[in-house]
Amino acid sequence: MHLVITLNGETIKKVEPHLGFIHRSIEKMCESLTYRQFIYVTSRMDYLSAHINNQACALCVEKGMQIEVPERAQVIRTIMAELTRIASHELWWGAMAMDIGAFTPFFHAFREREKINDIMEETCGARLTMNYMVPGGVMIDLHPDFQRKVKEFITLFKLKIHEYDELVTGNIIFRNRMKDVGFLSKEDAISYGCSGPAARGSGVSCDIRKLYPYDAYNKVQFEEVIETAGDSLARYMIRIKEMNQSVHIIEQLIDNIPEGDFQAKTKAVLKLPKGEFYTRVETARGELGVYIVSEGATTPYRIKFRSPGFSNLSALDHMARGSKLGDLVAMMGTLDLVIPDIDR
């Protein structure tokens, strides 16, 4: 991504995003891939929540095929999605602190993120682009060590999350850099189509996990974190609190993984009936929509991915006007822009 900024001294007058530098036209590629294949391409969209992208696609195919997903698979998916969310927020936390000028948090964040990556690697063999989802469940069963490792991680993470607050959240320089920077009102957040923490920071209730529960989210208790300040600090606090909520969700599920199949029995070749299917899931960045238009063939006729970053980015110009150049990196940091997600 390339931002063309018009400046008056240090003050921003206009921000124009130029996109497409890593556009791979995943939507077009998917038109020639079968319903089993196209899921794996979507890992490359928002690579930080690759797992949740796959989940959205699998859910959409399941909706079209009317596949009943076994409970065990649902719970596994939810746990993995929440682990991905924590990993994504960890990376965001480090990278955002780096944008603000603090280097150290990046390494501290990666220390814990590494543990999640190890769990992922042990479970499905991959660390970043997981490809663990298949229509009807998950690809392979959990590793016997999975529950122990996740519990270990949760214990460690609860100790370390205080370190994050001490190192960054409570820092006066950091708070001054974040407070009243990049204000986005509730009306604007809705109008710009913002979702995820970017919109919840402005007081919009938009957590898809709460509003339209999928997989095992209707079986767990968690809070939708909402702040009303609308500035960068609010968006920051939401992500920090969301990590705690994700840990809370995992804690409820990790001891209650039901026995049974990890995958529903499905046909080898999937053919979605003629029609249109839309699923919405909550990725770490916001609402991901998968829109499949089927003509009854083995490949989708048209796929549209409604990526959260694309809409969130469109609010950047509005937020940035009139603030200082240094604020722009803070805003981009708290919007949590992942460029492949915007470019697709």
Partner 1 sequence: MPLTSAFIIPCSLFDILKMWSLNNITGIIHDWLYQTFSPTWALTFEMVIAGVAVIGLFAVLGLILVIMERKVSAWIQIRLGPNRVGPKGMLQSLADTLKLLVKEGLTPGGADKFLFNLAPIIAMIVAMLLMAPIAFAKDFQLWDLNIGVLYVSAVSSIMVISILMAGWASNNKYSLMGAMRSGAQIVSYELSAGLSILSIVVLTGSLNISDIIYSQADGWWIFKGHIPVIISFVIFIIAVTAETNRAPFDLAEAESELTAGFHTEYSGMKFALFFLAEYVNVFIVCAIGATLFLGGWMPFHIGNWEGFNHVMDYIPSSIWFFGKTFFLIFVIMWFRWTFPRLRIDQLLNLEWKYLLPISMFNLLLVTVIAILGWHF
Partner 2 sequence: MSNEELKTKITELLPAATFDESGEWLNINVEPSSWLSFAGKLRNNDSLFFDYLFCLTCIDWKTHLTMVCHLSSTKYRHNIVIKSKLDAGKPEIESVSHIWKTADFHEREVYEMFGVNFLNHPDLRLLILPDGWEGKNPMRKDFEDAVNMIKL
Query: Exactly one of 13, 14, 23, 158 binds partner 2 (CB under 8 A); which one?
Result: 23
Contact 193, 318 (CB under 8 A): no
Sheet holding 302-306, edge to edge: 275-282, 287-294, 302-306
Contact 221, 252 (CB under 8 A): yes
Partner interacting with residue 291 (select from partner 1, partner 2, none; CB below 5-8 Å by kind): partner 2
Gyration radius (Cα) of the chain, Å:
20
111 vs 15, 118, 149, 251, 281, CA distance in Å? 35, 11, 15, 21, 28
**Interacting stretch for partner 2, rule CB under 8 A, among 109-117, 134-142, 221-229, 275-283?**
275-283
Amino acid letter for position 180: D
Q: How, if at all, do strands 11-18 and 133-134 pair?
A: unpaired
Partner interacting with residue 167 (select from partner 2, partner 1, none; CB below 5-8 Å by kind): partner 1
First CA to last CA across the chain, in angstroms?
12
Closest CA to 270 of 27, 31, 37: 37
Q: Per-residue x/- mask for partner 1, residues 175 to 194, rule CB under 8 A?
A: -xx-----------------
In the region spanning residues 166 to 195, those forming contacts with partner 2, defined by CB under 8 A, are 188, 190-195
- 164 vs 222, beta carbon nearer partner 1: 164
Interaction of residue 223 with partner 1, rule CB under 8 A: no
Query: Exactly one of 278, 297, 321, 325 binds partner 2 (CB under 8 A); which one?
Result: 278
94/167 Cα distance (integer angstroms): 11
38 sits in which H/E element: helix 38-41
Residue 203 C-beta: closest distance to partner 1, Å: 26
Query: Exactly one of 6, 20, 163, 322 binds partner 2 (CB under 8 A); which one?
Result: 20
Interaction of residue 173 with partner 1, rule CB under 8 A: yes
Q: Per-residue x/- mask for partner 1, residues 103 to 142, rule CB under 8 A?
A: xx-xxx--x-------------------------------
- 109 vs 288, beta carbon nearer partner 1: 109
314 sits in which H/E element: helix 308-314
Q: Under the rule (CB under 8 A), what is the footprint of partner 2?
A: 17-20, 23, 25, 27-28, 32-33, 63, 188, 190-195, 204-206, 211, 275-278, 280, 287, 289, 291, 293, 301-302, 304, 306, 310-311, 313-315, 318, 343
